[in-house]
Amino acid sequence: MDAILVRGGAELNGEIPIAGAKNACLTLMPATLLSEEPLTLTNAPRLSDIRTMTTLLQSLGAEVQPLQQGQVLAMSSHDLTSRHADYEIVRKMRASILVLGPLLARFGEAEVSLPGGCAIGARPVDLHLKAMEALGAQIDLRDGYVLAKAPLGGLRGAVIDFPFVSVGATENALLAAVLAKGTTVLKNAAREPEIVDLVICLRRMGAQIEGEGSSTITIQGVDRLHGATHPVVTDRIELGTYMLAPAICGGTVECLGGRMDLVTAFAEKLDEAGVAVEETARGLKVSRKNGRLKAVNVVTEPFPGFPTDLQAQMMAMLCTAEGTSVLEEKIFENRFMHAPELTRMGAKIDVHGGTAKVTGVERLRGAPVMATDLRASVSLILAGLAAEGETLVKRVYHLDRGYERVEEKLGACGASIERIQE
């Protein structure tokens, strides 16, 4: 099994290209199911989750060309052979549930396994199912599968008022409503850049949608969608992760393709902690201001707030900041599983429910640690970059779901990091 070996202590200097967003690409790929014509995505990341979604779409009969050099993903759903999304594929990744809306909208039926993914809380799909029911679908749960059928004449537009913000449910509702009869209004909709990117792509395919980026999105259903070519938006979570690397280690790194509007709340916290973020013609340049970093308090919130997917990485940085930081996780329960591993490296972290108190230490110490989920895995690598001695991060198959070529990108900036076989 692969592991990542990090030898800490080196400053990082150079540039890191930021890939297309994993979470956006996984949402865009099921959109191919909505049309007989080809959908081509450019700037697609090369990740195991993208391969899993490719396998799922192929199992339904879609044609998906293997990701080519240059990150082009070409797909076509002109001749689907199945409406059944099998457990053996879906269990590997939560985003698989996003085939439900398109299958139901275009074909009037779908049979989708309940999904899996990272072990960071229950994350139920009830809001997805209630959205489909609001559009007129009949939903049955049987033997671990969602069995969905549209009424005669297809899905019908509706007002869907989400009781709380859900990115996935907003995406599934969008994917279903674009082919529904009449008007659909999504209230308390998610505002994430990945939602905006999906709407831009659907609009390129002929959908009629207004209000993306706000909490109310209006969709006027159309009879059919056509093909399109769409560039995947920059990955704001990978961007934030690599912005933390020079903050933790010292030095200056320019994140190519980075945009401040994708990470505004995060960049504000970095500034508060003593990290300078400068917009350039090519992206964002990051370096420490002066001396030791300062403790800051963080509360995770839906976009445009501080992202839950950067909480673990931020905690790694705050482990050596001066003072005591408090991190409050309001999006997912059970998302501090990286804390015990960081304490193995000498961090002082006290977790109570959804709150973690981090008291900074002068220096972390290298140790063997175990990744528990995707973002936790990269937080341990970041901590290893700042630690004395060697850190061995095990179970990095989590890492490969969301970060491409971590060793190459950090190594090019001076990090001592390598992938090894245990």
Looking at CATH, the fold of the domain delimited by 22-231 is given as UDP-n-acetylglucosamine1-carboxyvinyl-transferase; Chain (3.65.10)
**What's the token pair of residue 211?**
């209000």
Crossing angle for the helix pair 167-177 and 126-134, to the nearest 10 degrees? 30
Residue 120 has pLDDT above 70, yes or no: no
* 340 carries a ligand binding annotation: no
3-state SS, residue 53: helix
Confidence at residue 191, expressed as pLDDT on a 0 to 100 scale: 97
Question: Can you give the C-alpha Rg of the chain in angstroms?
Answer: 22
Task: Confirm or deny that 140 is annotated as ligand binding.
Answer: no
Taking only the tens place, the pLDDT of each residue in 327-359 is: 999 987 778 999 999 999 999 999 999 999 999
Residue 116: pLDDT above 80?
A: no
> Residues 133-174: pLDDT tens digits?
999 999 999 988 999 999 999 999 999 999 999 999 999 999
**pLDDT in the model for residue 261:** 96
Measured CA to CA, the distance from residue 159 to residue 290 in angstroms comes to 52
More confident residue, 367 or 94: 367
| CB atoms near residue 210 (< 10 Å) | 12
CA distances to 26, 59, 186 from 81, rounded to whole Å, are 21, 8, 31
Does 125 count as an annotated binding residue?
yes
Judge whether 2-18+234-421 and 22-231 match in fold: yes
Q: Is 256 annotated as a binding residue?
A: no
Q: Is 156 annotated as a binding residue?
A: no
pLDDT band per the 50, 70, 90 thresholds, residue 95: confident
Residue spans per domain, the chain? 2-18+234-421, 22-231
**Is a pLDDT exceeding 70 seen at residue 306?**
yes
Q: Is 127 annotated as a binding residue?
A: yes
Class of the domain covering 2-18+234-421: alpha beta
331 annotated to bind ligand:
yes
Instruction: Yes or no: say if 406 and 19 are a contact pair by the CB < 8 Å rule.
Output: no
Q: Which tokens in the block code for residue 313?
A: 């990485």
Side-chain half-sphere exposure of 20, counting CA atoms within 13 A:
24
Catalytic residue among 25, 118, 255, 319: 118
Verify whether residue 118 is a known catalytic residue: yes
DSSP for 241-298, written as a single string: HHHHHHHHH-EEEEEET--GGGSHHHHHHHHHHTEEEEE-SSEEEEEE-SSS-B---E
HSE value, Cβ hemisphere, 13 Å, CA-based, for 349? 28
Q: How many CB atoms lie within 10 A of CB 184?
A: 26
| Span 238-264, pLDDT tens digits | 999 999 999 999 999 999 999 999 999
Amino acid 67: pLDDT: 63
